[in-house]
Structure 1
Amino acid sequence: MVNCCGLVSDRNVPVPLKSISVELQVKDHVASVSSSLQYVNEEERPLEAVFVFPLPADAAVCHFSAKIGEQEIVAEVQDKQSARDQYDDAVSSGQQAFLLEESDASSDVFKLSVGCLSPGQTAIISIVYVIELSVQADHALRFCLPAVLNPRYSPAASAASVPEVSSACVIPYTLSLSVDVRSSDRISRLESSCPLDPLVFLDPDHTHATVNLSAGHRFDKDVELFLYYENTHQPTAVVEAGAATAQPGCLMGDPVLMISLYPEFPADMMSSLASQGEFFFVVDRSGSMGRRMHHGKDAQIRIESARDTLLLLLKSLPMGCYFNIYGFGSRFESFFPQSVVYSEDTMEEALKRVKNMRADMGGTRILQPLKHIYSQPCYPDHPRQLFIFTDGEVCNTKEVLDLVKSQAYCHRCFSFGIGEGASTALITGMAREGSGHAQFITGTDRMQPKVMQSLRFALQPAVDNISVDWTVPEGVTVDMLSLPINTLFQGQRALIYAQLKGQSSGKTEGAVTVKYRLKDQPVTNQLQFTLKPTEDTGLTIHRLVARSVIRSLELEGRARGADVEAVRSRIVELSVQAGVSSVHTAFIGVNKHSKQTVKGPLLQRRVPIWDMCQGPLRMSKCLAIKAGRKRKLAAPPMEFRSLMSCARGSASADDLPNWAAPLTDLGSLMSEPEPQMDPLLRLVSLQKASGCWELNAALAAVFGKAEDEVTNHRPAQVDGSVWATVLALIWLYSCRSGDQVEWQFVAVKAASWIRSQKPDGLSQCVCDGNVLLACQVTEGMLGI
């Protein structure tokens, strides 16, 4: 087993990847990312490096080049098979060649092949991609530079012939990152999960700023940036000029327009929650869910966090709705044969089963449980809502997304990616095709606040009936290039793309009117835009438009009855024209100027990025042998070899057989004491489905009181349940006010239940409760 990191020889000599440099240019809501990776062949023989890495699912790769010495090779976009043939021919003949291609199975995985580096030679690989920035709950725009190369990214086809390279505890290369932000809106601030130098404003209006990542950063975790603008809800329309070298009438030759729509939801409107619905909670129970949420102190196991989250969800559901819970791995199971009415009995039964959920179901196969859910008839007047939790990736991402899209008319899908290795293509794709919302739980993020925010989306009104009307001069036409937007939830932003065709002999201004409906209230926004945009804009928006159209064509090509070859031809044509990646094209560069060919046998090596799970996996291998003897597990030889392969990093933990799944994380092998439950979760666990609490010792213990003390302070005119429920609300609003997003629906149910009882002496009850718990909460704050 090879234990050093980077690109190594058969003598364990590292490391070809020396440094990574990234330049990030942000314009309003989109970003252009330029990455340079420096490789050095320190071996004595020529080398081929294979570097498989994640990129955001919606990124449009638009430039790929390599510089060897003073010679720079700029790659071209070509049909994928043609590019592969050229690469193979070049490498086999001793020429230097480079190939960058998107995975056939998932749009957020790319493979870079660096062919024929001579001994001692340095290569600088440059990759440029453009991307829309996602919106966070606090209105920030988020950019993430992923550091983790999870086992799912290892190319299985060549596993037998390529030496395995494990990550060590020290990353052998550093990262430098510079950020340039330009906006039509004032920039408030920029924050990061990593240390930054001070933000520097370059103009008095604070619409142009720069910042750098602090020097010496070790690329051992994702780099997240959060950008805040002042007028986040202001709609905008930005026009970008076409390329001067492109033919007018084609996408790259005409101006394109980007409309940003981020509706504002009035507080009074959002306070009303729906009381009906059918809720499915679909939880990944593969072996990797036995890993920890992060590497900090007291990090929770992922499946434990999922159990706590399900507790909050089940307690927050409204009476009379329908629900069911699915667990999936290599197989799947549901708590009930079909969704059941939410009541005290069904809630308690579900909670008992939640407590026994383990990461014990093998791999990650989500297609079959989704098919099972969609095969069941919907309940009238109960909108179907799916909440899907996973920490991995599946091999059939595009098939899953097609299935979700086919059911878009009858459900919404809220997806949650757990940990750095969750597939952005899968998570964001399911939410997009299901008109829902995607969330990622990374680093020290807690799952519960993000999930409860999505539950609020599911229970709140949404923007619908979205339409776009154009006013342009004679001679100009507008082609909408975005798919229709059905729904927008609070905190969601939509980018709408259009192509401006033709020429106006006179007027240079146009207008777009965006209309939508929010809870039966019509809203209209009219935006002006210029027909004569500034030249030399970098074509960022054009490339995002091309990527959007390509993705639509890919979906069209996978539809039943589609002319697959015709759609493929259109994708290749647009991909080559725009210079952006697609599943049917690749970037190919061959150094045809080299005066001598590379001689000698060619070594193939795989370059890793920091693997968060490598340490536990290596230890799991040793412990698995001991566990097997102790428990007398008779593992078939092939499966046991597969487990050893996974421990070396050549296979995903999700590929393990079911008997081995618990061995993929050290935490699931040790007999650790049961962690103390958070007082908030203890309180929530005691609430009844109707919303009330019972007066008992367990509830008193949450308050740090004896049962007799709580009972003796009860006002004579109220019964025990009303008194207990008022105390619970006082404790929540006073002692856990910072976590309100987690218990908001618990409190809504409790207040509603109290009002339904019409108790006498409620004001005195609140007053006495404040005295008992040493709090100062008003009756109005409790909503009762």
Structure 2
Amino acid sequence: MMNRCGLLTPEKEPVPLKSIEVELEVRDHVATVVSTLLYENKEDKPIEAVFVFPLPGDAAVCHFSAVIGQTQIVAEVKEKQQAREEYDDALSSGQQAFLLEESDQSPDIFSLSVGSLPPGESASIRLEYVTELAVQADDGLRFCLPAVLNPRYQPQGRKTSKLSVTSVPASLVPYSLSFSARVSCPRPISTVESSSSLDPLQYLNAEKTQATVNLAAGHKFDRDVELLIYYTDAHQPTAVVEAGQASAKPGTVMGDLMVMLSLYPEFPQAVMSSVASCEEFVFLIDRSGSMGCPTSSSKREETRISSARDTLLLLLKSLPMGCYFNIYSFGSTYEYIFPKSVEYSEKTMEEALKKVEEMTANLGGTAILKPLEHIYSQPCIPNQPRQLFVFTDGGVGNTKEVIDLVKKNSGSHRCFSFGIGEGASTALINDLAKEGGGHAQFITGGDRMQPKVRNSLRFALQPAVQDVSVTWDLPKGVSVTVLSPPITALFQGQRSLVYAQITGQSSEAAEGCVTVKYNLAGHLSQNQLRFSLQPAEDTGLTVHRLGARTLIRSLEIEEREHRGQQVGGLKEKVVELSVQSGVSSSFTAFIAVSKSDGKEIQGPLVRRNIPAPSTPEPPRDPLLQLVSLQKASGCWLLDAALAAALGKTSEEVEKPKPASEVWATVLALIWLHGFKTDAKEEWELLAMKAVSWIHAQNGNSHNNHQDNLYAFNKMSINSSV
């Protein structure tokens, strides 16, 4: 048998990673993840095993240790170059060493090097990280354990990453996965769902505030493991106050109290209903080769590019009259439909849809930087706030450069990002939205893309808030240092997280108050949250580590912005904070060297790269077939195409009433309400546009519409649709 992508050694022995065990603990909307990786060297010579793998982009890696035989080695965080030199020195002197480091180009790619593993020896690696859980369109909290590391596209001329990954068919991945989760929350847990098979949810108390769930036995780690966790009354503002580390110096990030605020702003309904939305919509669609892959392993017939095309159809039909729009697509190169954004009309919509129908996954790599630069070079249209929608299934080799560009232009637009399929870069998708003041969504497993995109369209149609300020009211002698970047974007009912360091002493009964003030369409509004300064129990250092990670990321971005300028000390600040908090950064690495027995490992060291798994158009959805016939104004035409979409003959459709656009539009609305109520969130906006169009017509009486409704209902009873 031939050596297949590094899966087998030259002696046809399997690679040394044998199994992965993951324990997940979720508390409210924060997750602690402990992964144990078991390595075994079955060769007759010492090896160096290198495993490149993804983690969530906002994860704070906070512990790394190894057990060889009866000896445990706990890694330290050190400056990255120093850690690499110590690792190389250990290997050259025949010692066992372990190195965990983050990619220089993307914060969600890590490499684990297991050095000088002797013949016949096993090593158990323990890796721990904490992360926030993102809120999805349906209010579920999303946890994802990435399994698929899509090859990251590196634009020509860019510095390449030292990290590389070997990919093989999923069926040939030799390591197994076991996964268990424990969930707790002050509010009842409604359900836990997954695209993977789960054992039944087990509640641990009568209040249903604690539960456990396991991945079903036999799972092949060939795709991401995604959990969606639903709580009762999820949208409640909360504050978690955590005690500092006993061994840390007071006045430092780890030594003081840390508070994590979860804010859910509620906008005044009177203001929201009075705002008319006229905006510029720019859609950026990934057409790289991987977009031709199935949307998920369970929906082999639907490709990512076909799902993106269908979604664009719904988006274009849902846009309000008077807005402007344009569509870009990209791969190794990029294209656009119009030289600049055009006013939304029947003519421009039809021209765009024709080009969308022709889109295929034929543009090569994933070079997203150039089209973004071109979009930002276009002047904004006065009184038409720019809304950028980005759809991509993969990652890029220059993630940090892309994010820096979006942040630089954050004042001119809002960015809504969508990760399509298993393996999409969490760092790219989340940070596009975070730095662009928008919202991120992931479409995986059996998800339909349209409901999630429609939810983001609702956000985009909300007025942008301005002049956001956060003020604190604390007892005398207590001060606050906010670690999170300033809030620049707020959406109705969507969570905003704030981490802050609390310095000083207060009584046990002391309270704090935080007030968020903002300008919404010219109206001043505010929301308040009062909280106890008494630390919560049993939170460990989770909040401190997430707060430290937030500050580290902000300092890293600032360092890149000022690189080459006479602004020093930022890298040193990151290294100091990373070492102090024990949280990974782009400038540090975890290093562990075993010196227990003093024996050198004999024999030449062999490097083994450990593989990661790799991964015809279906009939058109009847809903999408009907939507495709709607005009930009909101109406439908009474013709043979509409009859076919409704499952009727032209005679059946035209018989009850004479031909008219009003009657055709009423028929379409009745069909939607009668037969597609389960997908209402997908077509609700375009239906509202159709109703508005009907009301705007003259010479069509209310009684005529009632007759139309009665006639179609009768027709529906007599023949199936």
**TM-score bucket of the superposed structures, by smaller chain:** over 0.9
Residue in 2 that maps onto 1:737: 677
Deviation at residue 274 of structure 1 after TM alignment:
4.0
| Structure 1: tracts of 5 or more residues without a match | 613-671, 778-784
Among 315, 333, 352, the alignment partner of 1:313 is 315
Residue in 2 that maps onto 1:427: 429
1:415-440 CA-to-partner distances (Å, cap 9, x unmatched) read 11111121111111110011101111
SS in 2 for 1:310: helix
Deviation at residue 39 of structure 1 after TM alignment:
0.9
Show the 5 A alignment for 1:121-140: 121-140=121-140
Among 593, 604, 609, the alignment partner of 2:607 is 604
Deviation at residue 322 of structure 1 after TM alignment:
0.8
Deviation at residue 107 of structure 1 after TM alignment:
0.5
Q: Are the equivalent residues in 2 in contact too, given 1:556–1:562 (CA < 8 A)?
A: no
Show the 5 A alignment for 1:716-727: 720-727=660-667
Residue in 2 that maps onto 1:666: none
Q: 1: CA distance between counterparts of 2:543 and 2:55?
A: 18
Amino acid at match of 1:679: P
Q: 2: CA distance between counterparts of 1:497 and 1:158?
A: 33
Deviation at residue 7 of structure 1 after TM alignment:
5.1
Q: Are the equivalent residues in 2 in contact too, given 1:53–1:153 (CA < 8 A)?
A: no
Show the 5 A alignment for 1:157-236: 166-236=168-238
**Which has a greater percent of strand?**
2
Q: 1: CA distance between counterparts of 2:64 and 2:128?
A: 7
Residue in 1 that maps onto 2:287: 285
SS in 2 for 1:699: helix
Q: Are the equivalent residues in 1 in contact too, given 2:62–2:582 (CA < 8 A)?
A: yes
Q: Are the equivalent residues in 1 in contact too, given 2:173–2:611 (CA < 8 A)?
A: no
Residue in 1 that maps onto 2:513: 512
Deviation at residue 480 of structure 1 after TM alignment:
1.2
1:604-626 CA-to-partner distances (Å, cap 9, x unmatched) read 111123221xxxxxxxxxxxxxx
Residue in 1 that maps onto 2:597: 594
Q: Are the equivalent residues in 2 in contact too, given 1:6–1:167 (CA < 8 A)?
A: no
Show the 5 A alignment for 1:333-732: 333-461=335-463, 465-490=467-492, 492-504=494-506, 506=507, 508-517=509-518, 520=523, 522-530=525-533, 532-533=534-535, 537-560=539-562, 563=566, 565-612=568-615, 672=616, 675-714=618-657, 720-732=660-672
Q: Are the equivalent residues in 2 in contact too, given 1:7–1:49 (CA < 8 A)?
A: no
Q: Are the equivalent residues in 2 in contact too, given 1:48–1:604 (CA < 8 A)?
A: yes
Deviation at residue 153 of structure 1 after TM alignment:
9.3
Q: Are the equivalent residues in 2 in contact too, given 1:260–1:493 (CA < 8 A)?
A: yes
Deviation at residue 19 of structure 1 after TM alignment:
1.6
Question: Is 538-547 or 316-325 further displaced after alignment?
Answer: 316-325
Q: Are the equivalent residues in 1 in contact too, given 2:170–2:222 (CA < 8 A)?
A: no
Deviation at residue 163 of structure 1 after TM alignment:
11
SS in 1 for 2:628: helix
Q: 2: CA distance between counterparts of 1:275 and 1:474?
A: 45
Amino acid at match of 2:401: E
Deviation at residue 508 of structure 1 after TM alignment:
4.3
Gap change, CA 1:509 and 1:723, over 3 Å in 2: same
Determine if the alignment matches structure 1 residue 67 to structure 2 residue 70. Answer: no
Q: 2: CA distance between counterparts of 1:260 and 1:410?
A: 26
- Percent identity reads 59
Determine if the alignment matches structure 1 residue 751 to structure 2 residue 694. Answer: no
Deviation at residue 83 of structure 1 after TM alignment:
0.3
Q: Are the equivalent residues in 2 in contact too, given 1:734–1:776 (CA < 8 A)?
A: no
Deviation at residue 276 of structure 1 after TM alignment:
0.7
Q: 1: CA distance between counterparts of 2:161 and 2:690?
A: 56
Deviation at residue 286 of structure 1 after TM alignment:
1.3
SS in 2 for 1:677: coil
Show the 5 A alignment for 1:143-162: 143-152=143-152
**Aligned pairs, number:** 710
Q: Are the equivalent residues in 2 in contact too, given 1:201–1:209 (CA < 8 A)?
A: yes
Gap change, CA 1:775 and 1:571, over 3 Å in 2: farther
Q: Are the equivalent residues in 2 in contact too, given 1:477–1:500 (CA < 8 A)?
A: yes
Q: 1: CA distance between counterparts of 2:445 and 2:282?
A: 27
Q: 2: CA distance between counterparts of 1:321 and 1:123?
A: 60
1:653-708 CA-to-partner distances (Å, cap 9, x unmatched) read xxxxxxxxxxxxxxxxxxx5x64322211211111111111111111111122212
Q: 2: CA distance between counterparts of 1:696 and 1:237?
A: 58
Q: 1: CA distance between counterparts of 2:75 and 2:216?
A: 32
Q: Are the equivalent residues in 1 in contact too, given 2:25–2:32 (CA < 8 A)?
A: yes
1:258-310 CA-to-partner distances (Å, cap 9, x unmatched) read 11112346888766774310110111111111212122355312212211111
Deviation at residue 727 of structure 1 after TM alignment:
0.6
Deviation at residue 762 of structure 1 after TM alignment:
3.5
SS in 2 for 1:550: helix
So what's the TM-score if we normalise by structure 2?
0.93
Deviation at residue 353 of structure 1 after TM alignment:
1.2
Query: Aligned-pair RMSD on alpha carbons?
Result: 2.5
Q: 2: CA distance between counterparts of 1:513 and 1:776?
A: 56
Determine if the alignment matches structure 1 residue 275 to structure 2 residue 277. Answer: yes
Question: Is 460-469 or 300-309 further displaced after alignment?
Answer: 460-469
Q: 2: CA distance between counterparts of 1:362 and 1:344?
A: 32
Q: Are the equivalent residues in 1 in contact too, given 2:387–2:460 (CA < 8 A)?
A: yes
Q: 2: CA distance between counterparts of 1:412 and 1:70?
A: 54
SS in 1 for 2:294: coil
Deviation at residue 591 of structure 1 after TM alignment:
0.5
1:517-562 CA-to-partner distances (Å, cap 9, x unmatched) read 56636343231212x4256632000000000000100111122475
| Structure 2: tracts of 5 or more residues without a match | none
Gap change, CA 1:204 and 1:521, over 3 Å in 2: farther
Determine if the alignment matches structure 1 residue 89 to structure 2 residue 89. Answer: yes
Q: 2: CA distance between counterparts of 1:758 and 1:215?
A: 64
Gap change, CA 1:710 and 1:189, over 3 Å in 2: closer
Q: Are the equivalent residues in 1 in contact too, given 2:285–2:329 (CA < 8 A)?
A: yes
Q: Are the equivalent residues in 1 in contact too, given 2:153–2:366 (CA < 8 A)?
A: no
Q: Are the equivalent residues in 2 in contact too, given 1:233–1:262 (CA < 8 A)?
A: yes
SS in 1 for 2:373: helix
Question: Is 345-354 or 486-495 further displaced after alignment?
Answer: 486-495
So what's the TM-score if we normalise by structure 1?
0.86
Residue in 1 that maps onto 2:246: 244
Residue in 2 that maps onto 1:105: 105
1:52-94 CA-to-partner distances (Å, cap 9, x unmatched) read 0000000000001111111111110000000000111111221
Amino acid at match of 1:372: H
SS in 2 for 1:608: strand
Amino acid at match of 1:738: D
1:568-625 CA-to-partner distances (Å, cap 9, x unmatched) read 000000000000000000000001113321111211111123221xxxxxxxxxxxxx
Q: 2: CA distance between counterparts of 1:463 and 1:185?
A: 30
Q: 2: CA distance between counterparts of 1:2 and 1:385?
A: 51
SS in 1 for 2:512: strand
Gap change, CA 1:48 and 1:583, over 3 Å in 2: same
1:691-739 CA-to-partner distances (Å, cap 9, x unmatched) read 1111111111111222122222115xxx611111111111111111111
Residue in 2 that maps onto 1:332: 334
Gap change, CA 1:702 and 1:675, over 3 Å in 2: same
